[in-house]
Amino acid sequence: MKKQLGASDTFFPVPATLVVSGSGNEANIITVVWSGIVSSTPPTIGISLYKERYSLELIRKTGEFTVNIASADLVKETDYCGIISGRKTNKFSDTGLTPLPGAVVKSPIIEQCPYNMECKVVGEIVETHIDEDKIVENKEKNKIEISKVNPLTYCAGIREYWQLGDKVGDAFNVGKQLIAR
DSSP state of 106: S
d(CA 109, CA 27): 10
Counted residue by residue, the chain has a size of 181
82: region left, alpha or beta (phi > 0 left; psi from -120 to 50 alpha): alpha
Of 19-27, 57-65, 164-172, which segment contacts its own copies by CB under 8 A? 164-172
Residue type, 177: Q
Cα angle, residue 70 at apex, residues 99 and 44 outer, rounded to 5°: 85
Binding flag, residue 135, its own copies (CB under 8 A) = yes
Which of 24, 40, 139, 140 is the binder for its own copies (CB under 8 A)? 40
Q: Are 167 and 144 in contact (CB under 8 A)?
A: no
Of 21-29, 52-60, 121-129, which segment contacts its own copies by CB under 8 A? 121-129
Binding flag, residue 136, its own copies (CB under 8 A) = no
25 versus 137: smaller Cβ distance to its own copies:
137
Q: Are 64 and 53 in contact (CB under 8 A)?
A: no
Of 8-16, 21-29, 53-61, which segment contacts its own copies by CB under 8 A? 8-16
13 versus 22: smaller Cβ distance to its own copies:
13
Which of 24, 52, 88, 132 is the binder for its own copies (CB under 8 A)? 132
Q: Binding string to its own copies for residues 49 to 68, with x set by CB under 8 A, is what?
A: --------------------
Which of 35, 66, 106, 121 is the binder for its own copies (CB under 8 A)? 35
Binding flag, residue 121, its own copies (CB under 8 A) = no
d(CA 121, CA 43): 12
Q: Are 45 and 117 in contact (CB under 8 A)?
A: yes
Which of 24, 52, 133, 140 is the binder for its own copies (CB under 8 A)? 133
Binding flag, residue 25, its own copies (CB under 8 A) = no
